[in-house]
Amino acid sequence: MGTLMTSISGIRGIVGDGLDPETIINHTNAYADFIGSGKIVIGRDARITGEMVNQLTAGTLLAKGIDVIDIGICPTPTVQFNVKKLKAQGGIAISASHNPNEWNALKLLNGTGQFLSPEEFDKMQKHMLKRESNYKTWDKIGKRTEFKQGIQNHVDAILDLGIIYLDEIRKRKFKVVLDCVNGAGAYVLPEFLKELGCQVVEMNCEKTGIFPRLPEPLPENLTETMKKVKEAKADLGIVVDPDVDRLVLITDKGEPFSEENTIVQIVQFVLSRKKGNVVVNLSTTRGVDDVAKNYECSVFRSPVGEANVVKKMKEVNAVIGGEGSGGVIFPEVHFGRDALIGIALTLQHLTDYGKSLSNLKDELPQYFISKKKIEVTKDPDEVIQKLIDKFFGQKINTEDGLRIDFEDHWVHFRKSNTEPIIRIIVEAKAEAEAKDLSNKYLKLIKN
């Protein structure tokens, strides 16, 4: 078997080298047994292997007697939203997120449109081990329906939010450079932004499904996009990953706004309208805490991963949540990372603020994150336990590896679920300080 990664958010692999038809059918079969009966919403991102994966997935579900509602090429959050909207028993988003062209994945959702919880995933894995076929006879197979309103359902729900004032945003006439990396965003975002009164300069918005650059929206992959924002004299740049759950912004100066700042400014905006609890993961910037403190609101942290953030959001009844990777979760629409919601809230924030995105960046709390990873020969759990013992008495959190909060910085040690690697994330007030500290912690593990 080639490359195949399995987690609570589904299965991911390289097509033809791990993610083959038999693998897709086996996992869909187990998922169908986990769901039992009813209807499943399927949607996919634009990558060219999506149609093949869709056919195998839909065919297996139909053979198991489950009805399929196919909403076509769309963002992953659109699948999540429509599971809830259409009262389906589950959903499958066919997308490998920010992975390159050769990858694809099945993102498996429960009846609320969220990723499977660890408990639900364990149940599904038991069906995998049983390898039951339970295929239905000719007269009991499921029915497949093409549903073309999926994207419109999602967009309408966002535009109808009481927190979004369309007339105000339209008056600003934002000029936006939009980079969809030729992914699912190209099927919704140009029109969505025009609906918000924006002048849209399209870049990588062709419906080819072939990514013209590395699709992860990191600054080093966005040099051309940043240049375009400056050349076009745009108010901002908007970049999404292939399945449109992550939102990355570029300032009017053609500089990165920073992935971490996406959630910081969204939290600032939402709390200015509606006070309440905030949830982010353990690797997300302290800037969120600073902003929430200004509104006398509490921040709760969860282990890394959308399912974990959502679980904590429900526990504490959060009004907003997300992750520092550009993930915005606004529960009034649905419990999932959603770049469309992030875009609408950002444009409303800028409208309220009245100044530029670069001004907003300068006024947000200023922090710098340094990320490193180290391959370890010992059991990663043992290494992290030694660190826990060493820092006993400090302000620590051990829900997901080890996070230690110091007065002037924090550090998060996390083991990889797929490799013998420990990740080290450090945040400090100055870039040089963050880098020095991450080197110090790296040496600590080496020794």
Q: Which residues pair with 92 in a beta bridge?
A: 42, 108
Query: Using N-to-C axis directions, what is the helix angle for 380-390 and 431-446, rounded to 10°?
Result: 110
197: left (phi over 0), alpha (psi -120 to 50) or beta: left
Distance CA 157, CA 80 (A): 13
SS3 321: strand
How many whole angstroms from its chain centre is CA 393?
Answer: 34
Active site residue 356: no
Distance CA 206, CA 186 (A): 7
Q: Which of 9, 95, 97, 283 is catalytic?
A: 97
Q: Tally the C-alpha atoms within 13 A of residue 16's C-alpha that lie toward its C-beta.
A: 3
Closest CA to 290 of 273, 271, 274: 271
**Pair of tokens at residue 398:** 């051990």
Q: 404 phi and psi, to 5 degrees? A: -120, 125
SS3 410: strand
| Active-site amino acid positions | 97
